[in-house]
Structure 1
Amino acid sequence: MMHGAVPLLDDYLSHSAERLGDKIALVCGEHRLTYDELETRSSAVARHLVTSGVAPGDRVMIFADNTVETVVSFWAVLKASAVVCVVNPLTKSDKLGYLLNDCLPAALITDKHLQPVFAEPARNCPSLRRLIVSGQVDDAELRGLPHAVRWDEAAAGHGKAPP
């Protein structure tokens, strides 16, 4: 399903899911996702971003390793009509802080193991309306982060469909 006369990048995923739904789209270590699974998961995260206040044209920063969550997030941001800003996970805290305050993303998607790098810069970024953290993060850590939710909550995709 195309958004208009000119296909958008995320239209290619939707079209591939329609044609090749049960075929493997992503191999990441031991993990395998079909086109249908990638489509479903990315749509769920897109719904979460939209219901969290991410508007068309907003920037969403992905600060993570090459994981399934990163790929799902990339497609989700596009489906939310936002702009993907992928940041190398080797970026140091001071540089991440600079990028956050220069880019002013509405959301940051990251992983728990990067918390020593992202926690303080995220707390100091006034534009963040949502912080999504994958990995094993406990309740106290989550409460110490601005507008933070676990990946599993975001991937549940509650809320309206993205535009």
Structure 2
Amino acid sequence: MTDRSRRRPPLRRTHRPPEPATDAPRPGRTPWGQRTWRRTPAELHTPRLRLRPITAQDGHLVHALLTDNQVRAYLGCPASDERVVARQASYPATAGVWAVIRLTDDHAVGLVNIGPDHRCEGSAEISYQFLPTAWGHGLGREAVDAVIRWWSAACLVTRP
């Protein structure tokens, strides 16, 4: 037996989650149906953060995140005023978007959202943006971990 024959097969590059626990797949329906989103909790909590659904009162946070050069450095570029206004209007109506509140000062420091990945049907995508003042403290990792834990518990089936 050679070294090569003992190697594990390569990992798949697609990250397709298993089918949701209560939403059995039906023809023409993806696992991200409306029933999945009805399970979105009002809030998620971590030792240092509170994640709550974004509201219209978070317009200042959305503006700050979408227009900051540092935040947008790897996300294209700062958004136009029209794009900011559109996002400010759409985020409160979008399921799976949370404002991240730092508990020490009750200040909104970022956004996390999870939803269907438009590039690969049946897959989820998580994204996050934080104000530069919140960088370097592990808050992004903590917030994303909370959302992934919620998503895994609410929407995914563990396979035997």
Whether TM exceeds 0.5 here: the answer is no
Q: TM (normalized to structure 2)? A: 0.27
Structure ID, larger Rg: 2
Q: TM (normalized to structure 1)? A: 0.27
Q: Looking at secondary structure, tell me which structure has more helix per residue.
A: 1
